[in-house]
């Protein structure tokens, strides 16, 4: 019997637990370790920020679906991974042993790296349901006395789609409340150009997103380093292509949502051979760590080199379908490993993304996500908002039912000629 532990029950971790359970032997044990007993659908947090969703709309109790799928749920925080001993040391002093460990923790949000950043400072966040709820409370107060808004992503961030979504959704909500004329908006990003997305663009995302911002009267600053955030202003250094200072902006601010830098979680940081200097898990083409092959990694917590050189640090996003392709590769490989075989499956890292703007949006397909690509396509339209709502309901339905995929999903992917495995 093999004991397989999945650390983290976010987008990748929950699906991984379900899919691994299907692929390994019946006698093998699958355990999910998570800080909470619930799953939160993070892509809906920009809607929570403006009151379009409540907590109960996007949170799923994990106890029943995991029990149904014969996955043991351990609720608790891991203090440290001990790969030499093949165990997790928990914060309560207990240990969880494993034969194979799948790390799916997501990142630690490094708000502390910039003075005044984050929910404990002067900016809001959509990275966690608790942050989004606090952001909604602040948004309601802001709407009673509106002023300048700043939205974007700081240096070292590696997920840009939610920043664009949040800016457009806030803009849409302000128009609905008929106070848009009282709110100057600025988009501040470490990207070298609008629509870069950490991916050097996909199709014409540059043109599409610039056009959206012009239509919505949102100004932007690219190649931006946020130096400091104060209660009423953000100090931003705009740099040239060679990294030299172009201009220092002191932007007035009454409300802001900025995506923070990401780094590896404390449970894995500073473990030589397991993670890179930033704390992200090092994996090979089979999603295994080279030094500790019994440890596998997926999702935002793994190390991926940046796409080309940029004047300001720009991380690579790990999008939903890309993560699901990692999940499938890991599940198939573990199925081989527990049966005494060598792993052979590789994730495609293809990406299908839907960015909702409240009354429209942008969708794109990148095959693979990291260029050069076989498919490089993007489009905008009002249908994207409806598609995002449909995807939210579909994905939450999968989590509640304890499924990793459905017949309809596979049929749609086949029509798009988009696959999870090479």
Q: State whether the Cα torsion 322-324-327-333 is positive or negative.
A: negative
Is 330 within 8 Å of 337 (Cβ atoms)?
Answer: no
**What digits encode the pLDDT tens for the residues 320-371?**
999 999 999 999 999 999 999 999 999 999 988 999 999 999 999 999 988 9
Please say if the pLDDT value at position 61 is more than 80: yes
CA distance 226 to 159: 16
CA distance 395 to 298: 18
CA distance 282 to 303: 5
Provide the β-strand partners of residue 237: 225, 248
CA distance 408 to 150: 40
Mean pLDDT computed over 9-24: 96
Catalytic residue among 127, 159, 222, 301: 159
Mean pLDDT for the chain? 96
Q: 159 an active-site residue?
A: yes
Mean pLDDT computed over 387-399: 95
What is the pLDDT at residue 278? Answer: 96
Q: 222 an active-site residue?
A: no
CA distance 159 to 215: 24
Is 111 within 8 Å of 121 (Cβ atoms)?
Answer: yes
CA distance 172 to 279: 37
Is 10 within 8 Å of 104 (Cβ atoms)?
Answer: yes
The conformational region for residue 395 under phi > 0 = left, psi -120 to 50 = alpha, else beta, is: alpha
Is 353 within 8 Å of 378 (Cβ atoms)?
Answer: no
The confidence band for 405, taking pLDDT boundaries of 50, 70 and 90, is: confident
The confidence band for 108, taking pLDDT boundaries of 50, 70 and 90, is: very high
The confidence band for 412, taking pLDDT boundaries of 50, 70 and 90, is: confident
The secondary structure element, H or E, covering residue 114 is none
CA distance 167 to 259: 12
- Strand (E) positions, 230-315? 233-239, 245-252, 255-259, 262-263, 295-297
The confidence band for 414, taking pLDDT boundaries of 50, 70 and 90, is: confident
**What digits encode the pLDDT tens for the residues 297-326?**
999 999 998 888 999 999 999 999 999 999
Please say if the pLDDT value at position 407 is more than 80: no
Mean pLDDT computed over 192-202: 95
CA distance 75 to 115: 33
CA distance 347 to 302: 13
- Dihedral pair phi/psi, residue 59, rounded to 5°: -115, 135
């Amino acid at each position: 019997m093999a004991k397989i532990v999945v650390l983290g029950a976010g987008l990748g971790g929950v699906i991984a637990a379900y899919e691994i359970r299907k692929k390994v032997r019946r006698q093998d044990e699958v355990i999910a370790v998570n800080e909470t007993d619930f799953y939160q659908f993070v892509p809906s947090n920009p809607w929570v920020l403006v009151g379009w969703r409540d907590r109960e709309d996007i949170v799923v109790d994990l106890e029943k679906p995991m029990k149904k799928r014969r996955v043991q749920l351990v609720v608790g925080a891991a203090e440290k991974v001990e790969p030499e001993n093949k165990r997790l040391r928990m914060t309560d002093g207990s240990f969880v042993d494993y034969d194979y460990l799948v790390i799916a923790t997501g990142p630690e949000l490094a708000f502390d790296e910039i003075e005044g950043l984050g929910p404990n400072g002067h900016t809001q966040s959509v990275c966690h349901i608790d942050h989004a709820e606090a952001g909604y409370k602040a948004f309601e107060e802001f709407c009673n006395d509106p002023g300048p808004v700043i939205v974007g992503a700081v240096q070292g961030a590696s997920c840009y789609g939610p920043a664009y979504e949040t800016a457009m959704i806030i803009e849409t909500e302000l128009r609905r409340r008929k106070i848009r004329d009282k709110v100057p908006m600025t988009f501040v990003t470490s990207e070298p150009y609008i629509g870069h997305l950490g991916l050097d663009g996909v199709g014409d995302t540059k043109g599409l997103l610039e056009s959206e911002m012009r239509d919505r009267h949102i100004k932007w600053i690219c190649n931006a380093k946020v130096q400091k955030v104060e209660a009423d202003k953000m100090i931003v250094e705009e740099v040239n292509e060679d990294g030299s200072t172009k201009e220092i902006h002191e932007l007035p601010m009454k409300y802001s949502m900025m995506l923070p830098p990401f780094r590896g979680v404390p449970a894995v940081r500073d473990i030589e051979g397991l993670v890179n200097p930033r704390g992200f898990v090092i994996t090979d083409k089979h999603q295994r760590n080279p030094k500790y092959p019994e440890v596998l990694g997926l999702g935002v917590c793994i190390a991926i080199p940046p796409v080309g050189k940029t004047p300001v640090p720009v991380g690579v996003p790990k999008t939903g379908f890309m993560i699901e392709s990692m999940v499938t590769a890991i599940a198939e490989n573990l199925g081989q490993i527990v049966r005494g075989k060598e792993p052979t499956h590789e994730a495609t890292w293809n990406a299908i993304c839907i960015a909702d703007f409240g009354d429209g949006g942008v969708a794109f397909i990148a095959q693979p996500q990291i260029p050069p690509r076989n498919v490089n396509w993007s489009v905008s339209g009002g249908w994207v908002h409806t598609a995002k709502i449909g995807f939210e309901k579909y994905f939450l339905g999968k989590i509640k039912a304890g499924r990793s995929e459905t017949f309809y999903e596979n049929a749609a992917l086949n029509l798009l000629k988009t696959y999870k495995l090479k």
